[in-house]
Amino acid sequence: MIKAVFTDFYGTLAHEDGEIVKRISEEIFDTGKADDISDIGAYWWESFQSLFSSSYGEDFRTQRELEYTSLEDTIKHFCSKADAGKLSELMFSHWQKPPVFADTLPFFEKCPVPVCIVSNIDRCDVMSALDHIGVKPRGIFTSEDARSYKPRKELFLYALNKTGLAPDEVIHVGDSLSSDVKGAESAGIKAVWLNRGGREVPEGVNSVGVLTELFPFL
């Protein structure tokens, strides 16, 4: 019996920071020496992922630290005069006041079981975002709390421990096949992929197009 829903936050309940990343990349391109603006996004992502993959346990670093460090590295790599501090604030501001998807509020209003947030984000930022959106989940569990990021299983195990629920008593929904689906499954939790873009669904993956389509799985 499903007793709770675990859900990702950014990209699932609220919009990702893609437009902000685009603005930052344009600033670096305009003040730096990149051949193509796509090179900036690619380098920044690789720099972030390198830091992200080794950030857990005693070596854990917050999402803000990872973003700032990788952005600063990217600015230096492309010999840009952009200000990492000012550009980071654009990102952080979005994290605290993100636009919400249209199905988020109906999902919270109609969901027959408690909803808990399980997200790769710093606690202060997601708390501000939830206040901005106006929803009150039963639990909020972040990478900062668990000192580990999805798709590693520690964050899911942390959420299970804090709720007192077993893996077969929850279902996790999120927009990332790697972080959400594979991550949840590594902790023994059934996962559903939120496929808003209507992409091809891999074999063996449960998927929904909007959040309220999750209800039949409960």
pLDDT in tens, 141-152: 999 999 999 999
What one-character-per-residue DSSP string does 56-104 give?
A: SGGG---HHHHHHHHHHHHHHHTT----HHHHHHHHHHHHHSPPBPTTH
Amino acid 202: pLDDT: 96
Which H helix or E strand runs over 206? strand 206-208
Helix axis angle, 84-96 to 123-133, nearest 10°: 50
Tens of pLDDT, residues 166-211: 999 999 999 999 999 999 999 999 999 999 999 999 999 999 999 9
| DSSP one-letter code for 171 | E
**Alpha helices per DSSP H over 97-218:** 104-110, 123-133, 143-146, 154-163, 183-186
Nearest to 179 by CA among 44, 42, 50, 11: 11
Q: How far is CA 29 from the centre of its chain?
A: 26
Angle, helix 63-77 to helix 84-96, in steps of 10 degrees: 140
Cα gap 88→68, rounded to integer Å: 6
Query: Roughly how many angstroms between the first and final C-alpha of the chain, as a whole number?
Result: 8
Element (DSSP H or E) covering residue 22:
helix 18-31
The pLDDT assigned to 127 comes to: 98
Cα separation values, 198 from 193, 201, 206, 207, Å: 11, 8, 13, 10
pLDDT, one tens digit per residue, over 31-50 is 999 999 999 999 999 999 99
Average pLDDT, integer, range 53-69:
97
Rounded Cα gap, residues 84 and 53, in angstroms? 22
